[in-house]
Structure 1
């Protein structure tokens, strides 16, 4: 069933004018017509069965049914601090992290960061990433939108954060995910850039309370490492058990 995110708060048993982007996607891309069914959600939990009742070239209206209380969120509060990677690699990481149940995403700027943008371009990049996250929620069935925060330099992030259980992926570490203690709250994963975190950055992260963890004997790429760790945590402690 096609799912559409509506940013405004919804309530059941009403007819709404769909946002232009949603109307275009349903009518021009998916070719839905009046009488066709889909699902709406507003990111606040639950979803609404919906039926198109009026369609034109540039707009559409839909009738919402009663709210269905459903949650597909993980019992783990998984937070991803991902050093920014180039282009589609970052998009891929964000998309799959949402599918794997992450609740908060922080783009990190580290010493070896390869992406350097001015303020205006960062704003456009954040808007693009937010669209990637919303699309992933629509596809994966999630009813809440993960929080995306503005990019921040690593040192500033280390001093500002309450990590809960902080996990730093480090190929030189001796601890494995299997030996980590069960978290009492959030789990925060810090993932380095394409060239890895510098030694002094790793040391500062550990001083800030993060635990270095090794993901097996092979070196994982930046777009693979966080996703592998998220999946392993879901299998061990989350809703993949």
Structure 2
């Protein structure tokens, strides 16, 4: 499989054009992946443009790719959105990375009541930027034409609004309904909500339920916040026929 890269210039590129990978992407291509002149690669803008081409020249800070084919990949419908509660250590980041590889279309950081980590002030934008970088790199690894968007951190009130606009499934190990029993028969976006290590507080579960969210469980065991979201995404991908 050809090496894959991300560059916004792919959005307007046409067959026969040459695009230049610069900055950190060129460094990654030349110094890390050690791409060579004459080698075939693919490039996406992260918004559906899928470029196939051949490297004409390779320098440490500049890689020129001549385009031989282009495809415009439609955005997935319905969208899969992961609401991931902030967690201590790197557990939330591990969840975001795996979810991206598994095909999530949007990521929402959630400041849950029981989140030990707190994104406040300048830390909120720094955290969002960190998650966006993780998503971008994971999307390249998975050769995805669409890169998931990372929303600003949200609190429970914003999540309740999402529940009124999409099909929200809240992962709760005490729920009566198993996620494998859920059928997906409409075009609404699917929003999966994962709590922090301490679980989702009862008042948060009530608030989301009142807004229309459904509580579902994955199985008989308790999963870490780093694995619950990716596991649920695998089930939903199968339910939607993506897999």
TM-score scaled by length of structure 2: 0.90
CA distance in 1, matches of 2:56, 2:62: 11
Is the deviation greater in 5-14 or in 139-148?
A: 5-14
After superposition, the Cα gap between the structure-2 partners of 1:155 and 1:238, relative to the gap in structure 1 and judged at 3 Å, is same
Map 1:52-67 to 2 at 5 A.
Answer: 52-67=55-70
Partner residue in 1 for 2:122: 120
Where 1:24 maps in the other structure, the secondary structure is helix
Is the deviation greater in 140-149 or in 176-185?
A: 176-185
Partner residue in 2 for 1:84: 86
Partner residue in 2 for 1:17: 20
Where 1:106 maps in the other structure, the secondary structure is strand
1:30 aligns with 2:30: no
Map 1:48-197 to 2 at 5 A.
Answer: 48-70=51-73, 75-159=77-161, 161-184=163-186, 185-197=188-200
Q: Are the counterparts in 2 of residues 107 and 150 from structure 1 also a CA contact under 8 Å? A: yes
CA distance in 1, matches of 2:144, 2:150: 15
Structure 1, unpaired ranges of 5+: none
CA distance in 1, matches of 2:66, 2:204: 53
Q: Are the counterparts in 1 of residues 39 and 55 from structure 2 also a CA contact under 8 Å? A: yes
Q: Report the count of equivalent residues.
A: 239
CA distance in 2, matches of 1:67, 1:101: 22
CA distance in 2, matches of 1:221, 1:183: 29
1:42 aligns with 2:27: no
Where 2:64 maps in the other structure, the secondary structure is strand
Q: Root-mean-square deviation (CA), in Å? A: 1.9
Cα distance, 1:207 vs. partner?
0.8
Partner residue in 1 for 2:205: 202
Q: Are the counterparts in 2 of residues 165 and 183 from structure 1 also a CA contact under 8 Å? A: no
Q: Are the counterparts in 2 of residues 163 and 187 from structure 1 also a CA contact under 8 Å? A: no
Q: Are the counterparts in 1 of residues 163 and 212 from structure 2 also a CA contact under 8 Å? A: no
Where 2:168 maps in the other structure, the secondary structure is strand
CA distance in 2, matches of 1:57, 1:186: 42
CA distance in 1, matches of 2:163, 2:206: 16
TM-score scaled by length of structure 1: 0.90
CA distance in 2, matches of 1:161, 1:174: 19
